[in-house]
Amino acid sequence: MPLAPAAVDHTLDFALLHQSAGRHGARNRRALGWLLGLLALLLGSVVTLLLYLNNFEQEEAARRRAADAQWLEQSVQFHFRRLEDDLLLLARQAVQQAPASSPAPLAEADLKAGLLWRAPGVVLASGWLPAAPLNPAPAQTASEARTAPARWPQDWAAHPDNAQALALMQSTSQGLRRAAYAGLMRQADGSASDVIWLAVPLFERGQFAGNYLVAVAVKQALAALVPGWFTQDHSVQLLTDEATAQPDSAYRVGLNLPGVDLFVQVALTQAQPTTVPRIFFLVALLFLAGMLVSLYALRRDFSKRQQVQALLQTQVALRTAMENSVTIGLRAWDLSGKILYVNTAFCRMVGYSAAELIGCATPFPYWPADQRDLLDKIHQGLMTQGTRGEGLEVQFQHRSGQLVDVLIHEAPLNSATGEQMGWMSSVLDISERKRAQRMAAQQQEKLEASGRLVAVGEVASTLAHELNQPLGALSSFANGLLNRLHTGNITLPDLLPVVERMARLAERAGGIIKRVNAFARRRELSRQRLDLVACVQRVLVLLAEDAALPPAWALPTHAVWIDADELLLEHLVNNLVSNAQDWAPQGAQRAQVWVGLRLDAALGMAELTVADTGPGVSEEAQATIFNAFVSRKEGGMGMGLAICRSIVEAHHGRIEVSRDPVLGGARFTVRLPLSEPPTPAELA
């Protein structure tokens, strides 16, 4: 069998494929090992970075707390030094004044005083205490009682510790020649308050002149010194004892005021995260996530490769079974034109075995003898550019001599390196399709012939329907005229109107023949923009002259423009009005035909109405009244309303029948779409 070598080749190919897959698998395992090692290294780096960032944030928070506390300490010391300068100025003013008068408050200097002096509620009491022996007892000199602050003796006498601290403050300021502090002052029950005393000494020519004393509320001072932006992120608390418990997030600092042991605790209330380290950590996490995704994708790729390898092992048998089961012929040939491969379907198509075809060159044995030159040119074209998307239709000859119509599609046949080595052909047997096409063409010819017969029948039916009335009336007039001529009871004046009526009827019959003939010849609409009012009025005037029952109408005074075939439109109005004239006398009331036309701007339609006083149309008859060859008249052909419906639908309109509420008979309503009115230039 010629297919055996191909099968052997495919088996060898699969062996090479398995070897290649093994080599690739080993490389992929080594790459996976490196990737896992890199992933472990990255995980260790991320953990180390996390620990480092945590330690860094803690150190940064501690450093910030220390910096904030130091800033607060320096700010408090600065403002207390400024308060000492303000008190020194007040002491000089007190010495310059008369000894008997009390020191005047600051005047211009008050405008330059420090924050502690100006802040409300900070300075509780102040005054000048001149140099004089100061007894711990309440018995003081009159000068002291007059100049010392009023709070001074109260705090002195409130508790023994207060008297000791105040006396030490005075002696310290005098002996060391610098400001001194005392406090915190204790109340009578022994509890500590937040009040401290400040004594600023003044020396004149080397002699101690006295102290300027001031009582300061420390909590109010801290509230005045700490700005609002600082308190948004920090809490500031005054501590009276250094041994007070301190939380981990707080930092304690002493105020370093000589004579008092005051501490301030500063704690962060809203910790600000360090943005840059966290962004760096987030980037590291993103890289880690990317590595995990890459590892997952690689794992999926390994699984897919294993599945593909498993599937490729069954491809040879599956492809062979598919090639043997399909009905499409497959043919492969090289660039020189020799056949490399054919499947079973192609062999059945041409009647030759695969052994007889493989290796053959042009001319192939399945080419018809009378078409070999043409097929050789086609074959040369296929070798250079293949076929287009729609394929190429040619004829092959079966071994039995029968011609087979085929559709060929060519695709390049490439090697594993991508180099083209020939063409692969799919050959489809389209003999049945060609046979069906020929039968369809014959059926189409028969349908066209039947259509022509139907058209002739329609024209004949239309002529018979339209000419029935004028020819009948013409025959009646002619018979009546002959009878009167035979009897001799007609004069020339009586003869003239009868002949005129007969001439008009003959002219009407000729117009009907002309109109139907034109319609049958065209079989298409000749649309043009026309005024529907003028068209309807022209038809009604002609019908009013010849009919025994002239119609009444109500038309708009302005033009109603539509796109329509004028000939067919006149035919439509003529049929509807003539039908109404035939049925109007059969009603219970006086015969009457009414025609109305109105403009429905909301729907963009022109509405034509034809009503009569006849018996009307029943609900059962309304469903079939517009069908061809359906007539309610005695001797009618049933083509009039069918033609009317065809004309209306050809103009994209619709026709309806109902009972007229005024006349009581049938009411036919025709709705036709409006068109844009013509411009003045078009009217001109």
Question: For residue 480, what pLDDT is reported?
Answer: 79
| Nearest residue to 8 via CA among 316, 315, 358, 322 | 316
3-state secondary structure of 124: strand
Question: For residue 609, what pLDDT is reported?
Answer: 95
- Tell which phi-psi region holds residue 422, choosing left (phi > 0), alpha (psi between -120 and 50) or beta: left
Question: For residue 7, what pLDDT is reported?
Answer: 40
Question: For residue 596, what pLDDT is reported?
Answer: 93
Sign of the CA dihedral with 249 first, then 252, 253, and 257 last: positive
Question: For residue 673, what pLDDT is reported?
Answer: 93
Chain position carrying tokens 């499409």: 328
For residues 516 and 509, give the distance between their C-alpha atoms in angstroms, rounded to a whole number: 11
Enter the CATH code of domain 327-429.
3.30.450.20
**Domain 526-683 CATH (choose: 3.40.50.800, 1.10.10.10, 3.40.50.300, 3.30.565.10):** 3.30.565.10
pLDDT along the chain (684 residues), means of 10: 40 41 56 72 77 76 75 83 87 70 46 78 87 49 57 88 88 88 85 87 87 88 80 75 58 79 77 64 76 76 76 72 76 84 86 88 84 79 72 84 86 82 83 84 69 54 64 77 80 78 76 65 70 90 79 91 87 88 87 92 91 88 80 71 86 91 92 86 64
Contacts of residue 647, defined as CB under 8 A and 6 or more positions apart, other chains included, come to 568, 569, 571, 572
Contact 192, 239 (CB under 8 A): no
Domain residue limits, the chain: 1-325, 327-429, 432-523, 526-683
- For residue 363, is the peptide bond before it cis, meaning its omega torsion is within 30 degrees of 0? yes
Contact 114, 221 (CB under 8 A): no
Question: For residue 28, what pLDDT is reported?
Answer: 60
- For residue 134, is the peptide bond before it cis, meaning its omega torsion is within 30 degrees of 0? no
Question: For residue 98, what pLDDT is reported?
Answer: 46
| Nearest residue to 562 via CA among 647, 656, 462, 681 | 647
Question: For residue 1, what pLDDT is reported?
Answer: 38
Contact 10, 316 (CB under 8 A): yes
Enter the CATH code of domain 432-523.
1.10.287
**Strand (E) or helix (H) holding 658:** strand 654-659
Phi first, then psi: what are they for 660, rounded to 5°?
Answer: -75, 130
- Kindly report whether the global pTM for this prediction surpasses the value 0.85: no
Contacts of residue 259, defined as CB under 8 A and 6 or more positions apart, other chains included, come to 165, 168, 169, 172, 180, 181, 182, 183
Query: Distance between alpha carbon 202 and the CA centroid of its chain, in Å?
Result: 84
Phi first, then psi: what are they for 620, rounded to 5°?
Answer: -70, -40
Give 159's Cβ-side CA count (13 Å radius): 14
Question: For residue 2, what pLDDT is reported?
Answer: 41
DSSP 667: E
